[in-house]
Amino acid sequence: MATVRAADSILRASLRPSLSSARCCGRVPGGASWSRVPPSSMSVRWKSGPYGYTQAKALVFSEYGEPKDVLKLHTHSISPDLPSSSVLLRTLAAPINPADVNTIQGTYGAKPTFTSLIGTPAPAALPGNEGVFEVVASSSPPPASSSGLAKGDWVIPAKTGFGTWRTHAVAAADSVLKVDKEGLTPTQAGTVAVNPCSAYRMLRDYATPPLREGDWFVQNGANSGVGRAAIQLGRLWGYRSINVIRARSDEAATQALRDELTALGADHVVTEEEFLSREFKDRVGEWTRGTGGAGVRLGLNCVGGKSAQTIAKTLGTGGTMVTYGGMARQPVALPTGLLIFKDIRFVGFWLSRWADGDKVAKARTVNEILDLVRQGKFRDTPVVDVPWSWDTEEAKLKEAVQGTLEGFRAGKGVFVFGET
């Protein structure tokens, strides 16, 4: 968790054991005895608690495993005395991405840092790579602040590993990026940094030479957040797309999904069964006639197995396949002839490497996509709101996380924070 490591001193100076923990010891922050606090105050939850401490909750885990088994809802307090160049943040929205679940399971490529900085009984990690926060307080004078952050501003994490599944956070001012909240909902701002940015960078950065208007790309997982973003960005930039989906339980549901993706800008939407058929190659030839022999120039793979192999076979000479996921949990097996005779290139894309390595490029990409959202040119990915208020039970939050990897879903789960 890069941000926690970078802000160790800030967190140590600002975070205190929860009031409930202090109560067990018979004292409150500042040394007062609980017997001296009026009983009526004990039955009320203070957003800014006694002595100005902010009460906060966070989902944490101290060992790897299934979310339902290892996630815990931890309560702690944040001091009103913020260290220099830091901000107190209130979370507005934070999505539940598959990579977050894989991190909890211990199967993701990057391992989190386990610390006791927020007073957990055992060293714990805070999951969640994406989200949007509101600045509650800043320790830098607003006019002269190099961060340019003021109360009420919206910010997103500058790097991955921030730990967004919590009601509040204390962070270094340079560990977040300010976003213009005008014309946006919290969900729109809170879901821009992973899926849309992934689609943007893969479409722009990996074809050699870069894709031009009229060029074709093919992708599996077309109904995913990345897939939907790629369809829309491709349409805006003049690219043409072949999009592979899993068939639904009946033909009517499958057709409804085809129509939905076509409305976003997809040129062709096919099922996995159609894609893997022997006749599909001929269909691609008909669709890409007039490209001067270039055929399909870019493939985006998030499935693996036979689907990835078929993407590779669909590419024209000199094409590139970018792998950014492996939902089928099957290896990518490639015919040697594609490497020798068609000069196909195979690369991987890991958002964290790009996002953490170029903060300026991330800010530029995020702002460009959010401008498209404001203009009505980029539609939201379907989401399922998961309300999180102060009284939300731990079991409800864990259930939402556990369900992320289960079957067909109506949309991406997003924690939407209310009265916290």
- Closest among 339, 109, 300 to 206, alpha carbons compared: 300
How far apart, in whole angstroms, are the C-alpha atoms of residue 61 and residue 126?
A: 7
Judging by beta carbons within 10 Å of its beta carbon (0-12, 13-18, 19+), is residue 154 exposed, middle or buried?
Answer: buried
DSSP result, 364-402: HHHHHHHHHHHTTSSPPPPEEEEEE-TT--HHHHHHHHH
Residue bearing tokens 């055992």: 122
Catalytic residue (one of 51, 53, 64, 108) = 108
Label residues 285-312 b or e (16+ Cβ within 10 Å = b).
eebbeeeeebbbbbbbbbbbbebbbbbb
Question: 93 CB contacts (<8 Å, ≥6 apart)?
Answer: 131, 132, 186, 187, 189, 190, 191, 414, 415, 416, 417
Scanning the structure block, which residue is given the tokens 């599996």?
A: 220
With tokens 């962070």, the residue in question is: 171
Residue 404 is given by DSSP the state G
Whether 369 contacts 192, CB under 8 Å: yes
Assign 282 to helix, strand or coil.
Answer: helix
| Whole-number Å distance between alpha carbons of 125 and 133 | 19
- Whether 200 sits among the annotated catalytic residues: the reply is no
75 - beta bridge partners?
A: 57
- Of 105, 186, 231, the closest CA to residue 420 belongs to 186
Tell me the catalytic residues.
108
